[in-house]
Amino acid sequence: MNRFFYCLAAVLLCSCSTAVHAQKMPENSDDRVFCYKMQTGIRNNVAIPDIPGYMTLKCDFHIHTCYADAQVTPKGRVQEAWYDGLDVVSVSEHIGVHKTGIAFEDHNLVNQQAIEAAKGYGMLVVPGIELTRAKPFGHFNLLFVKDASVFSEVRYELDEEGKPKVDPETGVRLNDMETLRADIKAGEEQGCFFQWNHPGWPDKKSDWFDIQTEMLKAGHLNAMEICNHAEWYPRVLDYFDQYHIPMVANTDQHNPTAVDFGHTMRPMTLVFAKEYTLESLREAMFAGRMVAFWDQTLAGDEKLLEELVHACLKVKVIDEAKGRIEITNNSDIRFETLYGDHMNPVVFYPHKAVICTIKKGKKISFENCYIGRAKLQTNVW
């Protein structure tokens, strides 16, 4: 008997293993075997819904390429952005930084290569450059540039030996104001959108100087980065309270994005546009319909954030009198809320539902949604 069972087991084992191998082993050992479980070319869609009347476009308005001081070509930047779930990208190369040593004659080349690559992905590219100066001006991205070649390579005031002069007290380089003013004027003439980059970099101070007031008065401070790459600047919330300049979040990417954000969503700016065209995007940006989204945090205009929250959350009423409801979050945004007697945030996780007791019309606090220093307060039904 025992021998019979041993034989049966051996036969079964043999046939099973043969069946498994039959699926995987090629008929000819020289074949290349397609690894179907490792299919390539899969986009990581980011689920953030539209709001009434507008499409929600996921954008990154600050990225570098191999032509200045980064590792990726303009085409590679477009590919990365598509795979990371974005709709719009801007390769905003430094003017006057040539650390990688790749020679090129015309700064327009960078934008042209990105625009050409984007055609294959049905994506939009906003032509841009980064004006790279010392503080107090700092760095500004000029978006929707028409001709990147006119901006100045000379950035600092030079001494007789041709070396950059520094402020004797702070040691900071002094900007060559003549070329800076010429660059700002060139941006104005091209109808550019002016974005103040990383106010807290590199000195961790996020100071607002006279030149920012001057830029604002001239209509040349159209957005400011509250988040740049993997850091954010709380003082930008104060500037938002004071001036209501739209806040944006960008990567300022130098590495391949998989190196820095392969494990998480990259920072992005949400723009609420009427259509998926460059003209419509431009109209939305100058109208200030933008919200920053980074590290599961949102920052922006109260009405826009309220509409976005309402678009993400779906409520099923279980008991109206008691306020018992089921809330489903149909987005990739994790909302942290505070209401009632809860000591800790109640989280509405992406693509999950939770049952809550919240009376109709009752406003609750969205702790990760900044409308300036204050948090968004809104009803969920």
Q: Residues in the site for Zn ion, rule: CB under 5 A?
A: 130, 139, 197, 252
Reported as type and span, the H/E element at residue 315 is strand 313-319
**φ, ψ (nearest 5 deg) of residue 119:** -60, -35
Of 58 and 198, the one with the shorter C-beta distance to Zn ion is 198
Beta bridge partners of 92: 128
Q: Is 91 exposed, middle or buried (0-12, 13-18, 19+ CB in 10 A)?
A: buried
> Which of residues 130 and 183 has its CB atom nearest to Zn ion in the complex?
130
**For Zn ion, the closer CB: 60 or 252:** 252
Helix (H) or strand (E) holding 376: strand 375-379
Minimum Å gap between C-beta 252 and Zn ion is 4
Q: Round to whole Å and give the CA distance between 304 and 51.
A: 8
Q: Which residues contact 188 (CB under 8 A, 6 or more apart)?
A: 218, 220
Nearer to Zn ion, 200 or 246 (CB): 200
Handedness of CA 108, 114, 120, 122 (dihedral sign): negative
Minimum Å gap between C-beta 132 and Zn ion is 6
CA distance 310 to 77: 32
Nearer to Zn ion among residue 138 and residue 372 (C-beta): 138
* Chain residue at closest Cβ approach to Zn ion: 139
Q: Are 92 and 110 spatial neighbours (Cβ–Cβ below 8 Å)?
A: no
Residue 130 vs 176, nearer CB to Zn ion: 130
CB of 130 to Zn ion, least distance (A): 5
Distance CA 316, CA 328 (A): 8
Task: State the burial class of residue 68 (Cβ atoms within 10 Å of its Cβ: 0-12, 13-18, 19+).
Answer: buried
Comparing CB distances to Zn ion, the nearer of 207 and 326 is: 207
Q: Which is nearer to Zn ion, 60 or 84 (CB)?
A: 60
How many other CB atoms sit within 10 Å of the CB of residue 352? 12
User: Where on the phi/psi map is residue 41: left (φ > 0), alpha (ψ -120 to 50), or beta?
Assistant: left
Q: How far apart are CA 340 and CA 159, in angstroms?
A: 64
62 within 8 A of 250, measured Cβ to Cβ: yes
193 forms beta bridges with: 143
